[in-house]
Structures are given as C-alpha cells and as structure tokens.
A and B are shown apart, each in its own frame.
Chain A
Amino acid sequence: MPQQDLKNSSAIEHIKGRGLPLPENDVDTDRIIPARYLKFITFEGLGAYAFYDERFDEQGKPKPHPFNDPKYSGATILLAGANFGCGSSREHAPQALYRFGIRAIIAPSFAEIFAGNATAIGMPTVMVSPLHWEALIALVTQNPQTEIHIDLKQKTLSTTSGWTCPVEMNEGYRKAFLEGSWDTTAVLLANFDLIRKKAMELPSLC
C-alpha cells in the first residue's frame, strides 16, 4: 500500500459567521468564475475573480454587487438561491468562493457536481426550506451584522437574534464533515486491496 497522508482534514461541526445574501436562482459556475480565469495551473489568487464580470465593468471599476458591498465585508456564509452552482464541473467555482472568504453556503438546493466539489475542499453546502431561506435573507438584509451559526451535528441553524430553523444536507457529506473525512483520498486508499481486487475482476480497456 502506498504512502499516504492520513488525517489531512479536520472535523467541521460548527460554522459561524455573518451572511452574504445573493438571492438568485440557478447561478451558474460561468458566472461564479468566468472561463478566462481558469487558465492558471494553480487555484491561488482565484478569490479576486469570484463573480468578476458582475462585480467589475470592462474598465475594472466596481459595480454594485453583494460581494462588493461594504455592509457584507468579512461575511463568510453565502446565502445563495436554488440550484446554486449549476453548469460546468469547474472546481474553480467553489475554490474562488473559498478563497474569497466563504466558508459555507446556504441555499434551497445545490447543483450536484458543485456540492461535491465544495465538500471536497471543506466548504459545507447546507439546505434550508424555501420559506426559511426567505426569512433568513430578510433577516440578514435588514441587519447585516446578524451572526449565523450552523450546527451540522444537530442539523440546525440559529442567529444571534434567536431565530432558528432546521437544515438539510446530503447525509454522506454531513458525516464526512463530522468525522473529518471530507478529504477523501486517504479514506478511499484505505480500501487499497479491495480496489486492486475490483480492478482485476473488471475487463481491461486495451
């Protein structure tokens, strides 16, 4: 069995931070990170390009956008619309958000590849019902200083103002965060012998 870096990821049970509302459905990954910023061979520095074409005009001057709004400066929990992250499989999208400072995303639903990519880099994608979502958006918009607390173990969300609601999440992802096994390479390699066995059983390609 090859050398491996076992516990590379730590458990994530609680996420606390202020909310950054982006209440739009079907936000695609081309909008989160335009394709021309995919031409780097590292993910470093991608945070500067999150939602670039919506945040800056052609001369590079800032446009009104929640990510540019000083009210939400330092917010770490993105409040996004349904089907967030649809489109391309580019991990650059969650990477750009993470490097911008986002640590968790709350939405009524997520595109699947995006949710998998976000989980793989330790950024939980948490779902709330559309009604709770609307209430949360209103709360944060009225008071951007509202602190949000996501408890992945209890599957609850609460705010400093005392408002609470249940949250949902892909159970596999949730357990991976609670166990600290969201960095999957080591978990997968633990089954090295089973992998080899499976490879022998299956037809070869060439």
Chain B
Amino acid sequence: MTLLDKVWELHKVATLPNGQDQLFIALHLVHEVTSPQAFQMIEERGLPVLFPERTFATSDHIVPTDSKARPFSDPLAEEMMAALERNVKKHGIQAFFPGSGRQGIVHVIGPELGLTRPGITIACGDSHTSSHGAFGALGFGVGTTQIRDILATGTMALSKPKVRRIEITGVLPKGVYAKDIIMTIIARLGVNGGLGYAYEYAGSAIQALGMEERLTICNMSIEGGARVGYVEPDEKTIQYLRGRPFAPKNIDEVAPYWLSFRSDPHTPYDDVVRIEGNALEPMVSWGINPGQAIPVSGRIPSPMELPPAERDTAEKAYRHMKVSPGDPIEGKKIDVAFIGSCTNGRISDLREAAKIVKGQKKAPHVRAYVVPGSEQVDAQARKEGLHAIFQEAGFEWRSAGCSMCLAMNPDRLQGEEICASSSNRNFIGRQGSPKGRTLLMSPAMVAAAAIAGEVVDIRKWER
C-alpha cells in the first residue's frame, strides 16, 4: 500500500451510491474568500457545523498588508472579513485573526500551529491545500459547495487518485532550492501531467529537505495538475511539530503512529518518474503558466521545440510576456520584486533571501516587497533582524497575508510591470493587472533580481 492508500482507507466512511468514496476530513481550514457562500448554504438548509472542533479559520486573501486597522479601506474586503467573523462566532469555530499573533496564510499557519500532522485528511477552499502533504497528510483543495458539505457533514465525496512516485535523486547543487525542484517537475511533466494523480515526492534530495522546503514542493503539486502531493513523514516531521501550540503534548508516544504512514517497500505505483537532482538548475518561468519555465541559463523555447498541444499557449505567452523564442531569461529587466505567499513566505525563505540582500541596495527602479506568511513568521524575522536587513536594502516590509500572489488586496502590479515573484502562478492578470507579467523563481533568486534590477543566476552571485 502507498501512504495515500493508508490515509484514504483510514478516513473512508462509505462508498457512495455513485461509486465515489465518502472521506472523513480530519482538519478543515477556512478562510474569508471561499467560505461565506458555504455558511449561507448550510444556514439555508438549517444544518449546523457538524465538527466545529475540527474547523479552524483565518483571514489571508483580502487582508491589507500595510495597515490592518478596521474598517479596511476596501469596503468589499471589510464586508468579507466581517462575514467570517460573524460565521465563526455563530458556529463556534476557532479563528486566528489579525492581531492574534497567529494569523497568516492558511497553509503557513496550519503547520506552524501544529494542526497539520501526518496521516490525516485536510481540506480547505484553496487549491494550495496540497501543501500540507509535506507532513504526510492528504490535503485537498475544494470549492465552496464542497466546503458546504464538509461544514455540514465533516466529509466529502472523492474519487481516489492514482499515485505517481517522483524520485529526486542525488544532492541539490548550491543555489538550487525546493522551488527549483517543483518548477522542474512541472516543466517536464506539464501543467496537466498530474491530472488524476497524487504525487508522492521521494528520493535522497527530497529527504534532505527541511519541512518548509517540502511545503514549497507539495504546495505547487496543483500547478502540475495533481490535486494532492505528499512526502513520507520522518524524524524531521516529528521535530518540526514538537512543541507547536496544537501538536499533541505526548509527541514521543504519537511519533511511531505518525511514522507508520509511509508507502510499503516494493508497493506498486501507477507511475514512477526519476529526476537527477545533481543536474538541476535555478528555474525561472517565462510564460503564462507555471509549466512554461526554463533553467536560468536557458533560452525561451520556440514552438517547434514544444509538444504540439503546447504551441498555441506558447504563442499567447510570447505576446503577453513580450518575449521571443531564443531570448535568454537571464538579464531580463524587472520592475517589481515580491517575496512571500504560501509557496515561499516562511521563515527559512526569508532567511535565504536575507543572505543575498544583506548589505546591498535594491535597484533604484525596482519596487520590492517582503510579505511574511504569518504573524509568527513576521515576529520571528524581526527577532532575527531580518526585517531590518530588507528595510535597509530598500525593501518594504509588510504584514502577513497572500498579498501580491493573487492581488485581492491593494498590493498589485500596475500596467505591464514585470514582477520577479516567489509565488506559485504566472497566469495572465494573476498579480492584479490584466497586462502585468510574472516571473516565478525561488526567494533567493527574487532577492538577487531586486538588487540587480534584472534576472540573475544566483549561482554566479558575488557581492
């Protein structure tokens, strides 16, 4: 059996008449944008929240990152925030709102509060719920009607996916990060390569990663079409959870149970892919989906170099991004730098970026932002003096939220600006301007680009 099989069987309530499985959801995370209609739906049917003790809320998508004073300047954001406050109060749901010291991006706070843990099912109305697989959990991104189902029944209807094991062998070269691993996987297997699959990430290069780096990898599973991605838990998983506010106090007693969630040796997989970790390079996206990415030393591909099904999208990408086949990506001028998001807004990301930024100044023409993933990340960064390093380099230090990853708050690109971004999506319009352009890369690469004013190869960085 695979880890997926084990967690699935453990949480399976029944087989539904239509053949799908009814899965119990052990942890339901709720945020302000995708939940108000779901609460309304259960109220219209007179149904209670069945497991409020397994439901936790925060606000991340629409919260401003400059001032969180109420009311928010955007009346729609204020209304959305107020609706969540009403709903959690009415239904007895524990919430972590701004000022609590625990607010943050839902996929950052789940792990840091110790709610995320091995061997459980997690759902949230956000596609990046796949992140939580870093702990050997199964995280499902769901829509609002499914949130209704989980609120009302603690369960949801699902079809069991196939499992593709992706082994990253060897050792990562210097300057190559978790972000580069997942961007390489998506570039090779395609943005639809994971349809119908869960991705099991394994191999020596994955085992060597810390928990936060594993979160980065699992986070972007969905960008490759895989709704679920996971890593088998190990000692690092246990160590990370030790002492977290919601983690079991008797963690040493629980550890063997948690560690039992692994795929059996020699278990068959639906597919296996091996990638040589030693050969990986820093990656940069050049197009309008996360699969349109190349090593920083590479050149933008011509349509003929691409599979036929990807050529139309490539043509569209050349036009939107104003690039041509054969162009290098290194040296591409940027206007904005964004370090943050559920992909790369954790303390280890800020530490790596700060190493690059320390003692430097951002390029004069670049607007540069650091948005910590949570209030806890913010506090820890301040304790370590990281915020001062960024501020002295001319970066704006903001407060926790999703911010410019999807620009539902005032943080956004203007016009055709190009943004070096540590986030997860480079879709047209994603960062708030219909003509805006996004270059995805690791936080260290974003930091270096902010200073140089253009895309640089972090492996050659000497300052």
Binding site for B on A (CB under 8 A): 2-5, 24-26, 28, 30-31, 34-36, 38-43, 53, 58, 82-83, 86-92, 94-95, 109-113, 116-117, 120-121, 170-176, 179, 181, 184-185, 187-189, 191-192, 194-195, 198-199, 202-206
Contact = CB atoms under 8 A, between A and B. Distances in A.
Contacts of A41: 36-37, 40, 79-80, 83
Interface in B37-80: 37, 40, 45-48, 50-51, 53-54, 61-62, 74, 76-77, 79-80
Given A30-B425, A112-B195, A89 B430 contact: no
Given A187-B157, A202-B24, A24 B17 contact: no
B225 A195 contact: no
A5 B45 contact: yes
B24 A199 contact: yes
B269 interface: no
A58 to B, nearest CB: 7
B37 A24 contact: no
15 contacts: A30-B428, A30-B430, A31-B429, A34-B434, A39-B76, A87-B222, A89-B126, A89-B141, A95-B144, A113-B127, A171-B18, A176-B18, A185-B153, A188-B16, A195-B24
Contact of B225 (A86, A117, A179, A205): A86
Nearest to A38: B33
A103 B116 CA distance: 38
B155 interface: yes
A112 B312 CA distance: 22
B407 interface: yes
B17 A206 contact: no
Instruction: Find the residue from B18, B37, B316 having the highest chain A CB count within 10 A.
Output: B18
Interface stretch (B7-15, B297-305, B353-361, B363-371): B7-15
Given A4-B47, A83-B195, A58 B434 contact: yes
B323 interface: no
A26 B126 contact: no
Contact of B428 (A31, A40, A176, A194): A31
A91 B254 CA distance: 37
Contacts of A112: 195-196, 225, 227
B26 interface: yes
Nearest to B79: A41
Contacts of A109: 192, 195
Contacts of A172: 16, 18-20, 157, 159
Interface string B127-162: 101000000000001111110110011111101000
Contact of A43 (B27, B37, B149, B191): B37
Interface of B: 10-11, 13-14, 16-20, 22, 24, 26-27, 33-34, 36-37, 40, 45-48, 50-51, 53-54, 61-62, 74, 76-77, 79-80, 83, 115, 120, 125-127, 129, 141-146, 148-149, 152-157, 159, 191-192, 195-196, 222-223, 225, 227, 246, 254, 289, 309-310, 312-313, 316, 406-408, 425, 427-430, 432, 434
A40 B36 CA distance: 9
B53 A205 contact: yes
Nearest to A94: B143
B376 to A, nearest CB: 18
B309 A25 contact: yes
A89 B143 CA distance: 6
Given A87-B127, A112-B225, A116-B143, 9 more contacts: A25-B309, A41-B37, A42-B37, A82-B192, A89-B127, A174-B18, A176-B18, A179-B17, A198-B13
B142 A42 contact: no
A174 to B, nearest CB: 8
Contacts of B11: 198, 202
Contacts of B152: 185, 188-189
B159 A170 contact: yes
A39 B408 contact: yes
B91 to A, nearest CB: 14
Nearest to A5: B45
B45 to A, nearest CB: 5
Instruction: Find the residue from B13, B142, B246, B428 having the highest chain A CB count within 10 A.
Output: B13
A89 B142 contact: yes
Nearest to A108: B309
Instruction: Find the residue from A95, A117, A120, A174 having the highest chain B CB count within 10 A.
Output: A120
Given A39-B62, A172-B16, A120 B309 contact: no
Contacts of A185: 45, 47, 148-149, 152-153
Contacts of A88: 126-127, 406, 425
A3 B47 contact: yes
Contacts of B316: 24
A195 B195 contact: no
B191 A184 contact: no
